[in-house]
Amino acid sequence: MKIRKAIFTAAIAASLTAVSPSFIPAPVFGAAVCEAMVPYQNDGMTLLVPGYYDSLLRTKVLNDDKDGRLFSITEAKSVTAAWLQNERRNGPGWICTIRRVSEKKLHKMLCSDMSGAEVFAKDAKGNRYILEHPTDVRLFRKNNEDMRRDSEIWSSLNKWAGTELPGEFIQANKGLVREAYDNSSVAMYLARTAYGPRVNYTIGMSGQGAFFSDEVKADKYVEQLIRNARYEMIDSKDVPDGECVTLSFPDEKIRFDFFLQDGRENYVREVHVDGFVILYRAAFDDGVTKAGTVMKQWYRELSNHRI
């Protein structure tokens, strides 16, 4: 069972925290900002790579890829070092890949662990664009000394790919708009009620009955709860009191309590049959949506169909 999903692994994240203008040699930090961008094009889409970084990377245009992958980016030195060492495993030097998928494909993906894949944009046809990246460190050199020597530029390349590339890609391609989806355990189970194969679930409210109804479509509520949202783990000691709406999956023996207490409407508690508990706090880009409120609306519609 997936507990939490991160954009990069702890090892990569740790390396990125060391990156700052004061630690990166001036040609590395400054050139990437000031130098002209190098364009790559595929099926009507454009990827722009900063000129200095382009000299350090191998950017492949993936024509007619059956899985919708458009561009793949690797660090050139890692590829060369791996070739000289006859190392072919685990894609040495791979930094990221940009992939386009249909809405139907996205819905299927959201029902499972998407570690190493971040949705970041949507086009006018409903296709989504995903930044795929490794969940381990792919820097490769012939020895540890070379690894340490080049760790700063490796961190700089990954920082660009993870934080700047998605926005630059949206700006370079007319019609794209930012869109993201959460893929925490909460979001995966929510997605399964709308997009997965038929799943046994109920929605109940404190002191009231629990319902399941095929007459109420889950997708309109699920989209509100997982699109442009983040569910982050917090200290379980902060669990609220009072009423909650409970989404329960009896076959999997797991439930999610969405709290309704004022100021705590974005708190969600994941509870397993063995007593294991995880507490989440949701954050929505619009700054308005409240997870507990949405779940209460869902419950009310279900209960109205039972009258």
| pLDDT per residue rounded down to tens, the chain (307 residues) | 444 333 333 333 333 333 332 223 333 444 444 569 999 999 999 999 999 999 999 999 999 999 999 999 999 999 999 999 988 777 999 999 999 999 999 999 999 999 999 999 999 999 999 999 999 999 999 999 999 999 999 999 999 999 999 999 999 999 999 999 999 999 999 999 999 988 999 999 988 888 887 778 999 999 999 999 999 999 988 899 889 999 999 999 999 999 999 999 999 999 999 999 999 999 999 999 999 999 999 999 999 876 5
Other Cβ atoms closer than 10 A to 238:
10
Report the amino acid identity of residue 225: L
* Predicted pLDDT at 198: 86
pLDDT score of 259: 97
d(CA 3, CA 258) in angstroms, rounded, equals: 18
pTM to 2 decimal places: 0.86
pLDDT digits (tens, 9 = 90+) for 54-65: 999 999 999 999
| Whole-number pLDDT of residue 29 | 42
Helix (H, G, I), strand (E, B) or coil at 27: helix
Q: Which amino acid is at 272?
A: H
pLDDT of residue 7: 35
304 CB-near residues (< 8 Å, 6+ apart): none
Of 238, 271, 241, 275, residue with least CA distance to 256: 271
Q: How many other CB atoms sit within 10 Å of the CB of residue 84?
A: 10
For residue 42, what pLDDT is reported? 98
Q: Give counts: helices (H), strands (E), the chain.
A: 11, 15
pLDDT at 21: 29
